[in-house]
Structure 1
Amino acid sequence: MTLPAADLAVHGESSSAPPTEAARKSIAGRSPTRIAFDRLRKDPIAVICFVIVLFFAAIAIFAPWVQSLFGVSTDTVLASTRIDLVTRLPKIGPPNHGFTMDHPFGVAPGSGTDNLAVWIEGCRTSLFLATVATVLSTFIGVTLGLVAGFVGGAVDAVISFFTDLFLSFPFLLGALAVAPIISERYGTDIDKLRVVSFYSLVFILVIFGWMGVARLVRGEVLSLREREFVKAARVIGVPTSRILVREILPNLLAPIVVSVSLSLPGYVAAEAGLSYLGIGVFGRESWGQTVNGATSYWEIYPLFLLEPVIGIAVLVVALNLLGDAIRDAFDPKTRR
């Protein structure tokens, strides 16, 4: 006996109709990475901090074009045209004189160099150095952490020993020991000193910055190597290098991203601090070098010191808040 159409609908036999496109999208699964990025996109603090970081990155990348846009440069000028030779204070520009588009941030006391040009170059130096140091330290830390966690045994013991050894060595003491050697070796050659001081500072930051990433990755690998998909790959004879790169490394994306986002502001602040102590980069503008030269003018010309300090503070705070947001977004136990 055949049921009427109304009875078919009641008994659910018409439910075999294909779902609509909207229904399919609503029930589609999302990867953990997609969920994390959705949570970041809905976090107003993360969005604001990302825009700020993007702004500083754009200034650093397009520094020559930004300087040309404002018509400023760090070229040597005749100081007497911009500086009062008696007080050594600027004769033009804010804050002691009216605002001028020729020098929006004023000029440096003593030298007459445009502050905006110096600020832009300092942003470029600090961000470039911090980015290079972050990439290198992350690469070393991830590589050593992968090997130590997966291989184990004597290899793990040796890597863990060197990790603890470097962690026990004072970072500032190492920087203070290396800087005089470089100055004595290349002090008479300004061009070489400019290059060597930059990459020696990168070396110092990297050599004392990979340990945290290595420990983090090692702990994650110790857990992942006991998972079924890793054991299955080993049983069927997949090479160790392929297991590390294709099976384990993709599962470490979240902690690595979090580590990078938190390391970058630390290196920016470290570069500024070391340059302020006189053991940073030489022969190029940096925020730390500007702070070092501006401290003596704080009482009579505070703007000279405030400009790089505000730049460092805003960038570091934005990077730290963005790093916290990324950590929370990738943590499945966190609900913001």
Structure 2
Amino acid sequence: MSQPTAPETLGSLSDETPVDPNSKQAKAIAGRSPMQIALGRLVRDKIAMVCAAVIVFFLVVAIFAPLICKLFGVSTDTVFASQYLDMLGGGMPLKGPPNNGFDPEHPFGIAPQSADDNLAYWVYGCRTSLTIAASATLFASVVGIAVGLLAGFLGGIVDKVLSFFIDLFLTIPFLLAALTIAPILNDRFSLNDNYALIQKFSLVAVLAIFGWMGMARLIRGEVLSLREREFVQAARVLGMPTSRVLIKELMPNLAAPIIISVSLMLPAFVAAEAGLAFLGIGVTSGASWGQTISKAVKYFEEYPLYLWEPLIGVVLLVLSLNLLGDAIRDALDPKTRR
């Protein structure tokens, strides 16, 4: 006579080792929210923690840029450039690299032809990149979340109209639009006293206008699946206003995709800002890593440090943001074992 078999459970069908409900691990998991579990997984990721430390470093540099420049005694203002340059030798610095040793007065050296202090421009270039990228990410996220929520929840004609605008903006090449808008702004505001500030605001607007569609499509897809769930149906049956359903019921369940999308959007905007400045259609008045790279390209053989300093800054910041974004995505995914 065959032995009776125990009923199969969901845990027996998976390849994971079942956890004893009385163990310390089970008790620790039972008392934590999904966000706390994800944060714990993120903290245990060494690569994510190194990237977070690098990002914190750049944030400190951007926030305290004036204090850092004051501490090292450098400034973006250049007086009597001819005193620091060999005008008969191609405009190269008289002190410091590339032809001389380390100059404590200018730790990163000075720029040829202009005698700008490289450290001051590097620090303020970091502030410019992070300020523009963070502002564009904020505006693009707000617009994308609002459009995605309305399109996914209301459906019908609203969904069709908003989806049409999403697809319409996706068909417009970003670089072509930037190349078209930049000359118009330069002609319109070039004589304005606040031209540098206007240029930054216009760049934020361009990045945000052509960067919200990905967030909107992601949120719309999530809302389409969430709006048929029992808790949303119960809220609608109880007569809860649409705004309250969107904010109180749906938004908490969209935290994970929003965080992931923002963490991947920010490095894209940092790279875009540097790329546009390199092409001469981004920030051209003031300090910018992309603008410095554009100026340093022709001096690469004679003065490689001039090019490597802003280039390393861009690469480190974008790489750290991308790796941290990937780590956040893996930490928030309950199916991954990372």
TM-score by length of 2: 0.90
Cα distance, 1:93 vs structure 2: 1.7
Please list every run of at least 4 consecutive aligned residues from structure 1 whose deviation after the TM superposition is greater than 6 angstroms: none
How far apart in 1 are the matches of 2:172 and 2:190? Answer: 27
| Residues 46-61 of structure 1 mapped to structure 2, 5 A cutoff | 46-61=48-63
- Aligned-residue Cα RMSD (Å) equals 1.5
2:84·2:115 contact (CA, 8 Å) conserved in 1?
A: yes
Within the candidate set 155, 159, 164, 1:161 is matched to: 164
Q: Are 2:108 and 1:105 aligned?
A: yes
Partner of 1:81: 83
In structure 2, C-alpha distance between the alignment counterparts of 1:48 and 1:27, rounded to whole Å = 26
Q: For each residue in 1:139-176, what CA deviation from the matched residue of structure 2 results, as whole angstroms up to 9, or x when unmatched? A: 00000000000000000000000000100110001000
* Aligned-pair CA distance for 1:23: 9.9
Deviation at 1:92, TM superposition (A): 1.1
Partners of 2:29 and 2:37 within 8 A in 1:
no
Deviation at 1:28, TM superposition (A): 3.7
Indicate the SS of the match to 2:92: coil
CA distance, structure 2, for counterparts of residue 149 and residue 23 of structure 1: 39
Q: Could you tell me how far apart the structure 2 residues matched to 1:41 and 1:58 are? A: 21
5 Å-filtered alignment, 1:57-68, equals 57-68=59-70
Q: Which residue of 2 aligns with 1:147?
A: 150
Shift of 1:25: 5.7
Partner of 1:42: 44
Q: Distance in 2 between matches of 1:27 and 1:309?
A: 43
Q: How far apart in 2 are the matches of 1:36 and 1:96? A: 51
The one-letter code of the counterpart of 2:294 is N
Which of 261, 264, 274 matches 1:262?
Answer: 264
Q: Which runs of 5+ in 2 are unaligned?
A: 1-23
Deviation at 1:27, TM superposition (A): 6.4
* 1:133–1:202 contact (8 Å) kept in structure 2: yes
CA distance in 2, matches of 1:27, 1:144: 36
Name 2:17's counterpart in structure 1. none
Higher Cα Rg, which structure: 1
Instruction: Show the counterpart of 2:295.
Output: 293
Range moving further from structure 2, 246-255 or 274-283? 274-283
- Secondary structure at the aligned position of 2:93 is classed as coil
Q: Size of the alignment, in residue pairs?
A: 315
Per-residue deviation at 1:135? Answer: 0.4
Three-state SS of the structure 1 residue aligned to 2:318 is helix
Alpha-carbon deviation of 1:123? 0.3
Deviation at 1:220, TM superposition (A): 0.4
Q: Does 1:234 align with 2:240?
A: no
Partner of 1:335: 337
Aligned to 2:99: 96
Alignment of 1:271-282 (within 5 A): 271-282=273-284
List aligned pairs for 1:20-39, cutoff 5 A. 26=28, 28-39=30-41
Match of 1:284 among 273, 283, 286: 286
Percentage identity across aligned positions? 60
Amino acid of the residue matched to residue 67 of structure 2?
Answer: W
